[in-house]
Amino acid sequence: MLTQRRADILNLVVDEYIGTAAPVSSRALVDRHNLDVSTATVRNELAALEQEGYITHPYTSAGRIPSNTGYRFYVEELMAEEPIGADERRTIEHQFYQVAPGLDEWLQLAASVLAAAVGNVAVVARPQRPVPHLRQAQLVHLRPGAALLVGVLDDGSIQERIVAVPEDEGQPELLARASRLNDRLSLSDSERIRTIAPQFEDDDDRRLTLEIADLVAEGASAAQLFIEGIRAALAQPEFSTTDRMLDAVEHLEAYELRGALRPPHSPDPGARVLIGDENERSWLHDWTMVISAFGEPGGAVGSVAVLGPTRMHYGHTIPRVRYFARLMTDLLHELDG
Amino acid sequence: MLTQRRADILNLVVDEYIGTAAPVSSRALVDRHNLDVSTATVRNELAALEQEGYITHPYTSAGRIPSNTGYRFYVEELMAEEPIGADERRTIEHQFYQVAPGLDEWLQLAASVLAAAVGNVAVVARPQRPVPHLRQAQLVHLRPGAALLVGVLDDGSIQERIVAVPEDEGQPELLARASRLNDRLSLSDSERIRTIAPQFEDDDDRRLTLEIADLVAEGASAAQLFIEGIRAALAQPEFSTTDRMLDAVEHLEAYELRGALRPPHSPDPGARVLIGDENERSWLHDWTMVISAFGEPGGAVGSVAVLGPTRMHYGHTIPRVRYFARLMTDLLHELDG
DNA sequence: ATTAGCACTCTCATAGGGAGAGTGCTAACA
DNA sequence: TGTTAGCACTCTCCCTATGAGAGTGCTAAT
């Protein structure tokens, strides 16, 4: 275990490095925080901290930078969380009452406001149920023989696909068919729907039921993501060369991020912090992800995440991710009445 | 008007510059295309071409690079279009039959395949009608007093919003209401729907009708965009500094691109080429946009575009944008039966 | 345990100095 | 008159060197 003084010094090193992005020297620590020891003493402590793996140097005589272990210790033991002032809260919440109340608008806005608040990439994943249920299906006549099958699921998402229908059926017949299907399928999950299918007498009803089962199953796959703040993240010194920037751009898209987020199945009162190689994906090994979940336990659950370099303002970011997760939970409640 | 020889030389300069991204010297022209004149003669011609505004040099003794005027002349008079081979066609079309047939999937795929084909940013805008009509509205009960209003429009898009409904109505009542509304509103545009509203006796029917009118109007606003190939575009030498890359990243998002594309109202058999400051948006002044429209005249029209540096392989890109526009038109037909 | 002092190391910014590429111009040539 | 050889001149780019500065690690004294 670290002595108090060492922990204090580590804290200062991390704070300083987060602020300046430059290796931290013993002189800087003593001067800027008027420590009552000499730089030599600090140097001894730094050497010890390095020995124990909390910090490193890029080369022999540069200052120190935190290692992933150092960040981890900082996040768990040292970091001072920067509270969200009443003003900031008000400003943020105000923005949500200025757009039309709708889930997608809110999710989009959340990503954008969070990104601006933390100066890094913010990702918001649309809430999903692990096992979605059908609320209602609808058949919209397109042309003889084809209709648009629209399914509204209980997590509020809408799935659609074009399906074949009997040539001679127009909208009235399709309405009747849809209401027949809804009577039996509504509020069931994909698996259940599939087992109900054989109970229908009519061939087409059976076929459509299976299409609906597919549709509902699809609702459980890829969650829609809202991504913002890429530019702000890339503007940081970590991406000062074009190749690093290109690497980042390559990965910061919905397809890749979906894999990195991994859907939580229950909302999380806190926020998980994954530093560097604590992330599974290897492209994230220089990144930190702060992630939290929102929604109702047992209901639809989404996630809010911030991605940035491991040198991230943790004390600022973590409470804000938590706050946005809570905020989104509240907004979801509001949508649900 | 340019003499034949000058035009030939301009052609070579542009070709060469597109290929190498380096200023083109008189020596390079003579050597690589075994011209039967000396470098001095070529230099004289280059000086003349510069005089007339088709090329410039970055500094006194570097080679020549095309000006926007030069590119314009090249595109209109000189460029050799690179045909799309049967193999390439087959490979591309094959990919469309491998995904589930659905408009969104196809649009996404088109953007991705086109981006890969041209090595630049590809943008595909979902087809829209200038004045969309309602196909069918649906009310899905969420909880007492609230329902999800889902509208399917005649361009295949789906709009949704949460609306208030009478507290005591459950799904059966809402179904009846929806079918009552559909009977009168189906196939009307937003404006028409608004004028019909007063004809309903019931207060809630009137209110919901206005909601539907709004919903339909929204369908005419922002078209969904599918954007791919950002990484490939940024990897080009034009973005060799991080600030240029940041500028590009800042603008290459749906919100900005939507403004730059401006929806065409009829499909276009060819492709428009906007070089540098021929683009309205000033951030596009170093970019070229090749854009074409697809869909049915008078029906839903979408667009396909490629964005890249003005030094773009025009002869390769233009026919491919045209081809993708035709392909999407065909695929739309297929969806329509 | 702490500290002053100092040698040593490494980076970074700056300047200098070719080498090389390419032009523009002039004068000779067909 | 159009073309060409020749050459001076210009500008970039890369390499090197060099010095300043920042910072450490170590030693010896307190």
Separation CA B295–CA B303 (nearest Å): 9
Asked if A138 and A110 sit in the same domain, the reply is: no
User: Shortest CA distance to B267 belongs to which of B158, B149, B125?
Assistant: B125
Q: Are A265 and A220 in contact (CB under 8 A)?
A: no
Q: Do B249 and A230 touch (CB under 8 A)?
A: yes
| Number of domains chain A contains | 3
Residue A299 in 3-state DSSP? coil
Asked if A244 and A329 sit in the same domain, the reply is: yes
Asked if B241 and B295 sit in the same domain, the reply is: yes
Q: What percent of chain B has pLDDT over 90?
A: 86
User: Shortest CA distance to B95 belongs to which of B324, B333, B336?
Assistant: B324
Nucleotide D23 C1' to residue A53 CA (A): 20
A314 burial (CB, 10 Å; 0-12 / 13-18 / 19+) is buried
Range of the domain at B71: 4-78
Asked if A28 and A92 sit in the same domain, the reply is: no
Q: What is the pLDDT of residues B101-123, one digit of tens each?
A: 789 999 999 999 999 999 999 99
Asked if A227 and A324 sit in the same domain, the reply is: yes
How far away is chain B from the Cα of A152, in angstroms, using its nearest Cα? 8
Query: What was the pLDDT predicted at A191?
Result: 97
Which regions of chain A are under pLDDT 70? 263-265, 337
Query: What was the pLDDT predicted at B33?
Result: 92
Q: Tell me which residues of chain A, numbers 248 to 267, contact chain B at a CB-CB cutoff of 8 Å.
A: 249-250
Asked if B173 and B260 sit in the same domain, the reply is: no
Q: Are A153 and A139 in contact (CB under 8 A)?
A: no
Query: What was the pLDDT predicted at A122?
Result: 98
Residue type present at position A156: G
Binning pLDDT at 50, 70 and 90, where does residue B337 land?
Answer: low
In chain A, which residue's Cα lies nearest the Cα of B142? A336
Least confident of B148-162, B185-199, B262-276: B262-276
Q: Phi, psi (5° rounding) for residue A50?
A: -70, -45
Q: What is the pLDDT of residues B268-326, one digit of tens each?
A: 778 999 999 999 999 999 999 999 999 988 889 999 999 999 999 999 999 999 999 99
| Residue A142: its H or E element | strand A134-143
Looking up residue B73, the CATH number of its domain turns out to be 1.10.10.10
Q: What percent of chain A has pLDDT over 70?
A: 99
Query: What was the pLDDT predicted at A48?
Result: 96
Asked if B11 and B150 sit in the same domain, the reply is: no
Q: What is the pLDDT of residues B34-78, one digit of tens each?
A: 899 999 999 999 999 999 999 999 887 789 999 999 999 999 999
Residue type present at position B129: R
Looking up residue B170, the CATH number of its domain turns out to be 3.30.390
**Contacts with A24 (C-beta within 8 Å, 6 or more apart), sequence order:** A12, A13, A16, A17, A63, A64, A65
For chain A, the first-to-last Cα distance in angstroms comes to 50
Asked if A92 and A182 sit in the same domain, the reply is: no
Looking up residue B90, the CATH number of its domain turns out to be 3.30.450.40
Query: What was the pLDDT predicted at A185?
Result: 97
Asked if B98 and B196 sit in the same domain, the reply is: no
User: Which of B103, B153, B211, B242 should we substitute to test contact with A (largest number of A Cβ atoms within 10 Å)?
Assistant: B242
Q: Are B165 and B147 in contact (CB under 8 A)?
A: yes
Asked if B107 and B206 sit in the same domain, the reply is: no
Instruction: Give whole-number Cα distances, B56 to A277, B61, B138, in Å.
Output: 50, 11, 61
Per-chain mean pLDDT for chain A: 94
A336: which chain B residues are within 8 Å (Cβ-Cβ)? Answer: 142-143
CA-CA-CA-CA torsion sign (B209, B212, B216, B221): positive
Query: What was the pLDDT predicted at A263?
Result: 67
Separation CA A127–CA A329 (nearest Å): 10
Residue owning tokens 């049967």 = B86
Query: What was the pLDDT predicted at B113?
Result: 98
Separation CA A125–CA A305 (nearest Å): 9
Residue by residue, what is the 3-state secondary structure of A195-213? Answer: HHHHHCCCHHHHHHHHHHH
Nucleotide D6 C1' to residue B36 CA (A): 19
User: Shortest CA distance to B139 belongs to which of A182, A333, A108, A188?
Assistant: A182
Separation CA A75–CA A78 (nearest Å): 6
Q: Phi, psi (5° rounding) for residue A186?
A: -55, 140
Binning pLDDT at 50, 70 and 90, where does residue B6 land?
Answer: very high
